[in-house]
Amino acid sequence: MRVFGVDPGLTRCGFGVVDGGPGRAVRCVAVDVVRTPVDADLAVRLLALSVEVDLWLDRHQPDVVAIERVFSQHNVRTAMGTAQASGVVALAAAKRRLPVVFHTPSEVKAAVTGSGRADKKQITAMITKILKLDAAPKPADAADALALAICHHWRAPMRTRMEEAERRAREMAETHRARIAAAAKRGGGR
């Protein structure tokens, strides 16, 4: 499975593509940070980001897109820009019928470091080690994008099993309700 991980942002948006193999084997395919000029109009910045996302999706043909979920931030303007960048990426993926999965920052940190409270330095160190990179990806947005892709690789099997268990539980509940209704109908007709 090939995952396109995105650490969304308007000023700096981290992109990372990771291939996964059996078990926890992962390999870095590509990583970069897309920047948009802070003095440009919002629409121009979103368009520039959209063009880059399209290029990456076309070039790397991922199976799924993993985006960091926008969490509460103290700076409303930063949160808005992050949300807008996430929307651009999700829309581009949806146009290609690619699944989009959102992971929280603490989920990503826990997946790659073992701690949901890891700092940027710890994440970068672990990404460098896990992917056997010669140098740490810089800036931190690049490492975060790779961390998102790795997180999805490692958590997707568990999510799939959980979704399947929930689906089976719903089916069993529906069958049970139908049996109860049928029994009540038979019993009420006497």
CA angle 38, 41, 42 (to 5 degrees): 85
The question of whether 134 is a catalytic residue gets the answer: no
CA angle 140, 86, 109 (to 5 degrees): 40
Reference 3, options 155, 154, 150; nearest CA is 150
Active-site residue (options: 19, 39, 63, 68): 68
Reference 15, options 160, 126, 120, 141; nearest CA is 141
As given in the structure block, the two tokens for residue 134 are 């010669």
The question of whether 7 is a catalytic residue gets the answer: yes
- Residues 7, 71 contacting (CB under 8 angstroms): no
Active-site residue (options: 41, 58, 107, 141): 141
The question of whether 141 is a catalytic residue gets the answer: yes
User: Catalytic site residues?
Assistant: 7, 68, 141
